[in-house]
Each structure stands twice: as C-alpha cells, then as structure tokens.
C-alpha cells in the first residue's frame, strides 16, 4: 500500500494537487472525534430534511452567464445563493432563503489571511439579509471571534473523505469532501427536499481563467482574489479538479434525477444535467 501511494504521488497526481488533498485529509482526521457541542450542532441539520418537499428552487452560482439572465424573474422563488453572489444588483430583490459557503479556513487558508476572511464575512453578514447560512463547523471559531451572524440562523456542516463512489448517504453532517461550493449547494437543495433544482451561473468555463465571474473580482470582492496566488491552478489542475466535481455531480443527480442546468452560457462543459431554457420556466 505504501509503494502504491508513493507511485500515485510521484506519477499520477500533480504536486500542488497532492498537497491540497493531503492537507484537507489531515484536517479531516484531526476532527474525527467531535465534541458534544459540535455533535449537537451537526445533529440540528436533521430538522431540515424535506423542509421544502414538492417545491422547486434555483441555485445561484457566480458564473458570468447570470449577467445575461433576467434574475428578477426569481423574485418569490426559493433561491440558494453561494459565496460572493450577494454582490449582484438584484440580490435584495431575490432575497435568497439560503446562502452556502465552502470551508473557509481549511480550504483557503493558504490564499488569504483570517483578517481578510473576517472582512469578507462582515460584508456578507450585512448583504445576505435574512438568508439562513450554511458554514463548515471548522469556521465557527472565526465567526464567533468576530461577532458575525449573531442574529442569523446558521446550519453547520462537516466533511468526510470521499472515495469517489456514489454510495454515500445524503447527510449534511457528513458531506463528501468538495472541490467546489456548487457540490455542497446541490446537496443542501436535495436534503431540503426540493422536487426540481435549477442551476444558474454554473459555468465551469475554467478555460477562460480562474477568476471569471459575473462581477469584477478586483472591485466587487472584499478579498480581491489575485491571479498571482492562483498560479497553481493551471489547465491540468483544473481538468483534474473538474473531473472530480463532475463525477460528484453524477452521483448527486442519481439520487433523484431532479437537477437541471438552466444557465445561459453556451460555452461550458456542464453536460451532466438536462439542459432547460431559463425563460421557459416562468
């Protein structure tokens, strides 16, 4: 087994990707024995199961394609937003009921400082209005230390290793580790029981660069992501990453086969889900 791991490390997985995977797995191992408080917080997710059974929802990604769609049509719909999408000018009109984040410190701690994360979350606290928040339990200390989201409903999640099989349970306290917040957002929607789930802004057009969004990342993102810090995300890295993400998508689609791609980007690789015309849904 040791020789096999050495072979994989040296010849199959790029060094940068191996380091990210190793760091993530190490963190997962360190938190395998959660405290009674953490266990209690994670168990509260059970109250969300099938909360919106029979309804439909829209998951709002940050891809550039949503700049070409009339998001005002989503007013009155169930909307799940992610990450920095709250900077969209129509966000106050949509008033998403839920806002989902990837693991912050354990997933991006080498890219940004805790102070930068705190500033970003402070703005998010103000601009996501009354949305119920989904955070990784590992970020609770950061959030509590900065007095953030004190008057908001927060749902905490935990991650576990994923062997790339599709036999994992739908459980927000044991989410198969992710490479994109989109994976987690879909799992949240499935857990909430939505009958139909429509994806917007899931462009996955990595070939246009790692920082292509509907907003200007230099002026509309508090942390101001830089291409310099993302040099490791070359084409090979992105292809491997997306293969992993799309495999997870296939597993999630198999659960209910109720996920639809409604984004406006004709140049993307998202062929896992059935394509629907956004305008025809209203």
| Number of domains into which the chain is organized | 1
Cross-strand bridge partners of residue 136: 157
State the pLDDT at residue 214.
93
State the pLDDT at residue 233.
85
236 within some domain = yes
131 within some domain = yes
248 within some domain = yes
251 within some domain = yes
State the pLDDT at residue 206.
86
State the pLDDT at residue 112.
87
C-alpha to C-alpha distance for 214 and 234, rounded to whole angstroms? 21
The pTM (predicted TM-score) of the whole model is 0.87
State the pLDDT at residue 2.
46
Beta strand 78-82 with 56-60 is parallel
Sequence-ordered list of residues with C-beta below 8 angstroms from that of 163, at least 6 positions apart, any chain:
none
234 within some domain = yes
The CATH code of the domain that includes 268 is 3.90.1480
Domain hosting residue 84, numbered range: 38-281
pLDDT below 70 — which residues of the chain?
1-33
State the pLDDT at residue 184.
98
Residue that has been written with the tokens 């606290």 in this structure: 125
Q: Which long-range contacts (CB under 8 A, 24 or more apart) does 253-256 make?
A: 254/166, 255/170, 255/190, 256/190
State the pLDDT at residue 31.
45
State the pLDDT at residue 62.
96
Cα–Cα distances in angstroms (integers) from residue 182 to residues 177, 178, 179, in the given order? 12, 9, 9
24 within some domain = no
133 within some domain = yes
Secondary structure percentages of the chain, helix, strand, coil, to 5 = 45, 10, 45
pLDDT 10s digits, 16-61: 555 655 555 555 444 456 789 999 999 999 999 999 999 999 999 9
14 within some domain = no
């Amino acid at each position: 087994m040791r020789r096999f791991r050495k072979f994989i490390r040296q010849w199959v997985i790029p060094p940068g990707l191996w380091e990210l995977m190793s760091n993530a797995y190490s963190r997962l191992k360190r938190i395998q024995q959660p405290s009674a408080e953490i266990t209690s917080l994670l168990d509260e997710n059970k109250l969300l199961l099938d909360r919106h059974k029979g309804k439909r929802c829209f998951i709002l990604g940050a891809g550039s394609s949503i700049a070409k769609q009339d998001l005002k049509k989503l007013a009155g719909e169930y909307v799940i937003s992610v990450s920095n999408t709250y900077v969209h000018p129509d966000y106050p009109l949509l008033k998403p009921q839920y806002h989902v984040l990837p693991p912050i410190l354990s997933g991006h701690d080498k890219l940004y400082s805790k102070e930068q994360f705190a500033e970003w979350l402070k703005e998010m606290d103000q601009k996501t209005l009354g949305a119920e928040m989904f955070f990784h339990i590992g970020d609770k200390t950061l959030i509590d230390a900065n007095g953030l989201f004190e008057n908001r409903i927060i749902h905490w999640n935990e991650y576990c290793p994923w062997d790339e099989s599709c036999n994992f349970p739908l459980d927000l306290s044991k989410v198969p580790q992710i490479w994109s917040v989109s994976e987690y957002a879909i799992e949240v929607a499935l857990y909430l029981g939505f009958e139909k789930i429509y994806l917007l802004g899931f462009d996955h057009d990595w070939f246009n660069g790692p920082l292509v969004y509907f907003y200007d990342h230099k002026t509309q993102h508090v942390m101001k992501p830089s291409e310099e810090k993302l040099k490791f995300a070359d084409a090979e890295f992105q292809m491997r990453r997306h293969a992993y993400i799309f495999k997870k998508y296939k597993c999630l689609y198999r659960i209910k086969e109720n996920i639809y791609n409604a984004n406006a980007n004709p140049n993307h690789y998202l062929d896992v889900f059935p394509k629907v015309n956004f305008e025809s849904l209203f």
